[in-house]
Amino acid sequence: MSSRNERCYTNVVLLLLLLLEIRWCTISEAEMVKCNKMKAAFQSAKIQPTLSCILHKSTKDCMEKITREADAVTLNGEDIYHAGKKHNLMPVVGEYYNQEFGASYYAVAVVHKSDNSININNLHQKKSCHTGYGRTAGWDVPIGYLVDSGRMSMMACAFGEAVGEFFSKSCIPGSSSMGFPLNLCSLCIGNGQDKYKCEANNNELYYSYNGAFRCLAEQVGDVAFIKNSTVFDNTDGKNAEEWAKGLNSSDYQLLCRDGSRAEVTEWHTCHLAKVPSRAVVVRSDTEIFNFLNAGQQHFGANSSGFKMFESDVYGGIDLMFKDTTTELIQILNKTYEAWLGPEYLGAMRGLDCSVPTLRWCTQSTGELQKCSDMAIAFNKEKLKPTVHCVSAKNPVDCMQKIKNRDIDAVKMDAQQIYTAGKEYGLVPAVGESYSGEDDAAMYFAVAVVKRESYNSFTINDLKGKKSCHTGVGRSAGWTIPVGLLIERGINRVPSCSCAALSEFFSASCLPGASEHRYPSNLCDLCIGDNQGKAKCASTSEEQYSGHAGAFRCLQEAGEVAFVKHTTVSENTDGNNQDPWAKYLKSSDYQLLCLNGARAEVDQWKQCHWARVPSHAVMVHPSTPTSVVFGLLDKAQEFFGNDTNPNGFKMFDSSNYIGTDLIFKDSTLKLTPVGEKNTYLKWIGENYFKAFKNLECSGAGERPLSLYNI
């Protein structure tokens, strides 16, 4: 028999086996007993295929066995995440609990309404109340969310240290047994008589949902991480215990992910995450819904004999299925990401710290040497994960290697981020900040004009004007203004041809245009050097090149200059003593806004054409970004300051061949990406539109590039 026929025969045999038997993985003796009872019940009802039961130690073992030794197991949200990510298993049947399908409950953060100073963005050094270590609403979701969003920095899997540094004091029952910092138990009270403090059971009065809320209600903590029903279960007379008497639900509010607050009744729209229902997971080649659906028709809640959703008769709870299940429903979108939802998925990413090494992509001899020194320095301070340095030819080679999982991380500029995200599926993990703020912006691109009462034109009147640009392919001076003019239909060109674009402005200075054989009027305003040579050169020999040069062009020859937001202030009010700028006043200039208005030059945050994004570290989407940021954030404590005494300098390349190695030399600090966790969110809508509109070139022209930013 040929190898091809053998494969076909094997596949047929496997399919027949699938039709004959469903092998259910159980994780306890009690569950095994129930499974065999279900097997007998299904056989009596002639439900096919046959059910068989196998016993393993844990859900983790079951995930690994669902290849050849097992077919199905019911998992909670956290296990579904690992089953999908590590074993390619799919959720196919979901449990329904007489509420929103796919939802078990909502994890929320609750605060006192009277304390209006707290929001999700300033929880650092607040006092926190948790249901318990390792519990979903009290630990997994809030800690995972805070880490994934970059609000809490964690190196490797040092959860205790990260949480202990983030909150000033906490009650996290069960954390003491993990060897975590003492302040994670400092708010716990035990049984109220100095016993059982911080235990993960009801001996600790601040344990579980009601206990965490009590911790908040008694003014011990500032925020409680609980589920959406907890406040209502313990207020407005619902709980007769002494501590809950007189509590009103209206005295509490929820913290929302966007930084706002909401009433506790608005948990459906204001929460940290929707906690997914449990689901049955299988391999991609296994069909099980019809089998289970037939079973629940016979043995659902109304059955007089065996009941699928009952466990107490076997001496356990939630065996095979959660006891509160009322129905099993087929899942149509069978990916684990879709079932978990973006909020819960993000929390799971924040808890995923399984990255033993971080392979950094280097693109030059100097960068490889700096990376090697960085790895040695990090290792000396016991920073994790360990950094390994790998060489690549160029940025595209890095992108391909990261896509193939041969390398883990590399720093890229805006144009490279666009390509890496669009063509290779990479995502940003860490951003550079050049101002010390977490704004993810290198600068803002603006259009500057003179303040003239007799000629107050707007963006809608630019056609036929004389324009000044920083240079060919540069973001603020060419790509952004021209790309957005095309996007808005103001510059109605049939293609990306610079010949057509040159017809929009009557005359320009676009340094570098002559080198690209662009139309001559794009160089008409240029003046070259002091001797009139090097006219329209892309170098500094052209006096109108760069940001300061384009602004000088506006002052001496043009009507609009496309520069960055700091250019006017850097060259006016005595800040530039060159003869051409010495007496210029910033008040003599204005900005053109995209909405057709004008604004003062200091209003660039509201009136700009695009935010030019900072450089970012890009990784494969399966790489936990929180691990990358956690490592680099801790590293910059030791090596981020150029005057640090520890030997290595993260943001200085002066000891190596080249500049901006590993990180841009002007970086002041590294920041989390937060909600800007895709390439499109990172570069911004206007920047994306501008680049997309110039992503082609006219005949005989070299393609435009954004490498010069």
> What whole-number distance in Å separates Cα of residue 148 and Cα of residue 494?
44
Tens-digit pLDDT profile for residues 467-524: 999 998 888 998 899 888 888 776 555 454 466 568 889 999 999 998 888 899 999 9
| Common-topology check for domains 3-93+286-325 and 357-434+614-677 | yes
Instruction: State residue 490's pLDDT score.
Output: 64
> According to the CATH classification, is domain 441-612 in 3.40.190.10?
yes
Whether 279 and 339 have beta carbons less than 8 Å apart is answered as yes
The response to whether 130 counts as a known ligand-binding position is: no
Tens-digit pLDDT profile for residues 140-198: 999 999 999 999 999 989 999 999 999 999 999 999 989 899 999 999 999 999 899 99
Whether 679 and 421 have beta carbons less than 8 Å apart is answered as yes
Domain edges within the chain: 3-93+286-325, 103-275, 357-434+614-677, 441-612
Q: What share of the chain is helix, strand, coil (3-state, %, to 5)?
A: 35, 20, 45
The response to whether 470 counts as a known ligand-binding position is: yes
- End-to-end Cα separation, the chain, in angstroms: 63
The response to whether 476 counts as a known ligand-binding position is: yes
**Mean pLDDT computed over every residue of the chain:** 91
The response to whether 77 counts as a known ligand-binding position is: no
The response to whether 413 counts as a known ligand-binding position is: yes
Phi, psi of 163 (to 5 degrees): -70, -40
Whether 673 and 438 have beta carbons less than 8 Å apart is answered as no
> What whole-number distance in Å separates Cα of residue 517 and Cα of residue 498?
10
pLDDT band at 244 (very low <50, low <70, confident <90, very high): very high
Tens-digit pLDDT profile for residues 52-71: 999 999 999 999 999 789 99
**Which of 90-104, 192-206, 384-398, 612-626 has the lowest average pLDDT?**
90-104
- Residue 274 in 3-state DSSP? strand
Whether 529 and 542 have beta carbons less than 8 Å apart is answered as yes
Instruction: State residue 473's pLDDT score.
Output: 82
The response to whether 477 counts as a known ligand-binding position is: yes
Instruction: State residue 422's pLDDT score.
Output: 95
CA neighbor of 447 nearest in space, from 491, 472, 473, 482: 482
The response to whether 135 counts as a known ligand-binding position is: yes
Q: Give the architecture (CATH level 2) of 103-275.
A: 3-Layer(aba) Sandwich (3.40)
The response to whether 137 counts as a known ligand-binding position is: yes
The response to whether 443 counts as a known ligand-binding position is: yes
> What whole-number distance in Å separates Cα of residue 367 and Cα of residue 376?
14
- The domain covering 3-93+286-325 belongs, at the CATH homologous superfamily level, to Periplasmic binding protein-like II (3.40.190.10)
Q: What residues have CB less than 8 Å from 694, skipping those under 6 apart?
A: 479, 482, 483, 486, 496, 704
What is the topology classification, in CATH, of domain 357-434+614-677?
Answer: D-Maltodextrin-Binding Protein; domain 2 (3.40.190)
